[in-house]
A and B are shown apart, each in its own frame.
Chain A
Amino acid sequence: MKGAFIFRASAARKKWERGGPYFPGSAVYAMAYDGRAGRHRIWAGPQSMHWGALLRSSDDFGKNWTNPEAANVKFPESAGAALERVWQIAPGRDSEPDTLYCGVEPAAVFTSTDGGDTWRLNEGLWNHPQRAKWMPGGGGLCLHTILLHPKDPQRMRIAISTAGMYVTDDGGATWRPSNKGVRAEFLPDKYPEFGQCVHKVVQSKKKPQRMYLQNHWGLYRSNDGGESWKDIANGVPSDFGFAMAIHPSDADTAWIVPLESDGFRCTPEGKLRVYRTRDGGKSWEAMAKGLPQSDAYETVLRDAMAADAHDPAGVYFGTRSGKVFASANEGKSWTAVADGLPPVVCVKTARVAL
């Protein structure tokens, strides 16, 4: 929340070297790595409380960052809105190497088709007739998740707190709510068409029809690309939480960090435990080796967990108390990578071959 840091390690992922803080004082809720078309580009969306938010990038792993003269993500005058914060940066599909998407607050998608130089508001979503009924959650009215269908360039799913998920099947021209089976504990109608407080959704890269969803109360799996959702809170201490990560190749494996409740958004019983499923959510097991198991009332926020692309997969998460933990063995054991950082709101990974 006060800058960005970059940690680097060899493929063994044992010893980490820190870079940063970058953008000290700015909140960085979104980062991404774009390794397409021969790039080695890190994107970040720093938001200064004073000077506003924009997208900046580095082609040398943080030594130098662009600082565009004009803010690059701006609402057009006709929208009557001003950018508050960038919540998500999503490099496009491999088939569209110059396309990037970003999700922002107030809830909107912007698209770039020139590698991130210029960005355009997605008008179809912005002008959606239901937008007037979307309600800001505790973090503001944020569009925090963008899932691109890897093969179908017309299909994209986004999630907004608090509006739920919307899908486009025509490249962003039109959008429809898609929240079947996802509950809204805080509304009189528990299963509305839209209005759910979705905290995070992840999608399998290998099997894109498979997704997992951590809701504001509720843990779900979809086998049909998000068209319908099944409750999979089987054996977790709470189905409240924010963060979620999916295995890079095994669609049945995912990780979460359950929190006690929306009233007490901390790890239950003072134990910091990651829960892992290896059977698509039929069961979950606590992965706590190396994590503090007493007096650990931690919070892991919606984008503060990620897996890498190695085999075995690495899993990483950061806490609101400024700790970062890493596992190089799919969660079996954890080591502390950092302590005493500013509150961690975003953890992203990249496997880089130089």
Chain B
Amino acid sequence: MDVVFRIPGPLRNLAGDRDEVRVAGAPRVLSEALSMLWAECPAVRDRVLTERGEVRQHINVFVDGENVRDTGGLGTPVRDGAEIFILPALSGG
């Protein structure tokens, strides 16, 4: 069973210059899938999560095209073969 993470441009140098990281395992929910990603790319974690364990305010995570803010946050179910995007939100000044 695999889950595929799509890594945004600004974080690729922290993920071995990869735009896609495939992790093997059977995560049930997003938090478990992310733990697998952190094991593979530890430097990505603190850029995506705050020290409170929350997804940073201006980061969006999509599981199979759905923004997890609408589907249960870190508890969003993850299916076998899921595709997970980590994307900076449209914000800034």
Interface residues of A (CB under 8 A from B): 25, 48-52, 54, 67, 69-71, 74-77, 80-83
Check: B45 CB closer than 8 A to any chain A CB: yes
Q: Which 7 A-B pairs have the closest CB atoms?
A: A82-B50, A71-B46, A51-B47, A50-B88, A69-B43, A74-B51, A50-B58
| CB-nearest residue of chain A to B11 | A51
Size range of the chain B interface in the assembly: 20 to 34
- The docked-state distance in angstroms from the alpha carbon of A183 to that of B51 is 36
Q: Which residues of chain A come closer than 8 Å to B10, judged between CB atoms? A: 48, 50-51
Dominant secondary structure at the B interface: mixed
Q: Which residues of chain B come closer than 8 Å to A69, judged between CB atoms? A: 14, 42-43
> Would you give 17 A-B contacts (Cβ < 8 Å), ordered by A?
A49-B58, A49-B91, A50-B10, A50-B59, A50-B89, A51-B48, A67-B43, A70-B42, A70-B45, A71-B46, A75-B51, A77-B52, A82-B50, A82-B52, A82-B54, A83-B50, A83-B51
Check: B79 CB closer than 8 A to any chain A CB: no
Within 8 A of A (CB), among B9-54: 10-11, 14, 42-43, 45-48, 50-52, 54
CB atoms of B56 and A81 under 8 A apart: no
Check: B65 CB closer than 8 A to any chain A CB: no
* Number of residue pairs spanning A and B whose beta carbons lie under 8 angstroms apart: 53
- The docked-state distance in angstroms from the alpha carbon of A50 to that of B55 is 10
Q: Which residues of chain A come closer than 8 Å to B51, judged between CB atoms? A: 71, 74-77, 81-83
CB distance from A97 to the nearest CB of B (A): 28
CB distance from B28 to the nearest CB of A (A): 24
Q: Which residues of chain B come closer than 8 Å to A50, judged between CB atoms? A: 10, 47, 56, 58-59, 88-89, 91
Q: Which residues of chain B come closer than 8 Å to A25, judged between CB atoms? A: 92
Q: Which residues of chain B come closer than 8 Å to A80, judged between CB atoms? A: 52
- The docked-state distance in angstroms from the alpha carbon of A67 to that of B10 is 13
- The docked-state distance in angstroms from the alpha carbon of A74 to that of B53 is 12
CB contact under 8 A between A52 and B42, given known A71-B51, A82-B51: no
Q: Which residues of chain B come closer than 8 Å to A49, judged between CB atoms? A: 58, 91-92
Q: Which residues of chain B come closer than 8 Å to A76, judged between CB atoms? A: 51
CB atoms of A51 and B56 under 8 A apart: yes
CB atoms of A52 and B52 under 8 A apart: no
CB distance from B69 to the nearest CB of A (A): 15
